[in-house]
Chains A and B, each alone.
Chain A
């Protein structure tokens, strides 16, 4: 066989996205929630790169750069919030910070 069907790349991206979503709903530790968000952003970036290489357009890779920028911003703010959570409650359990009953 020669060449990878574009479908397979998109299937890989959707499997990674579903895994990240399952982890997001499954875990209550804030560290794991942030890591699941990273996995989901990464799978979206993978879908962009698959599209870029399938149609030989550089726009998808430019979008990949922006996704990486967004992931870096999200990780820095999320980790700062996580440090605050740990300093207040001495645990990373998100249920500890449910005073608003949300």
Chain B
């Protein structure tokens, strides 16, 4: 269990580094899928099989398929001119330093907090999670449903091909016709 935790944690960190430093969009998406599956393995190693299965099904299975479809649809190429500016440390030194400072602060807080619990792989089953969700958390579940409905409406409105705003900007199309 411990070896699975540390190995998948290492894989998750390395794959995430691959995501943020990659130049090809498809390669970055595949690295992100690897990172998510590694985090799901971390969940299995911690003793949360329900969360791990959900991570694979929803994150790696649904959200990342959305990313892959959009990348395929837009037919993106690696941005080569951006890649040239990467050799200059002026472009990546500031953000990396800021993130490192934040990481240092987080680690110092964790050390100061003195959390001494040890995870011994005791399973938390889907039954307990479901009883919590549909017992005291029922209102939160309905709020999540409303959030998903709002996201559905927003995505289908914004993602239309002939947006009225778009037509006004390009200007030279015929004005009156409704699609």
CB nearest neighbor in A for B115 = A6
How far is B56's CA from A68's CA once the two chains are assembled, in angstroms? 11
* Cβ-Cβ contact count across A and B, 8 Å cutoff: 236
Contact A53 B148 (CB under 8 A): no
Contact B119 A53 (CB under 8 A): yes
Q: How far is the CB of B23 from chain A (nearest CB, A)?
A: 9
Q: How far is the CB of A38 from chain B (nearest CB, A)?
A: 7
Question: Interface size (B, Cβ < 8 Å)?
Answer: 87
A18-B20 contact given A72-B151, A79-B66, A83-B70, CB 8 Å threshold: no
Residues of B within 8 A of A (CB): 1-2, 5-6, 9, 12-13, 16-17, 19-20, 22, 25, 28-29, 32, 35-36, 39, 42-43, 45-48, 50-51, 54-55, 58-59, 62-63, 66-67, 70-71, 73-74, 76, 79, 82, 91-92, 94-96, 98-100, 102-103, 106-107, 110-111, 115-122, 124, 128-129, 131-133, 137, 140, 144, 147-148, 150-152, 154-156, 158-159, 161, 163, 166, 169
Residues of A within 8 A of B (CB): 1-12, 14-23, 25-29, 31-32, 34-36, 38-39, 42, 45-46, 49-50, 52-56, 58-59, 61-62, 64-66, 68-77, 79-84, 86-88, 92-93
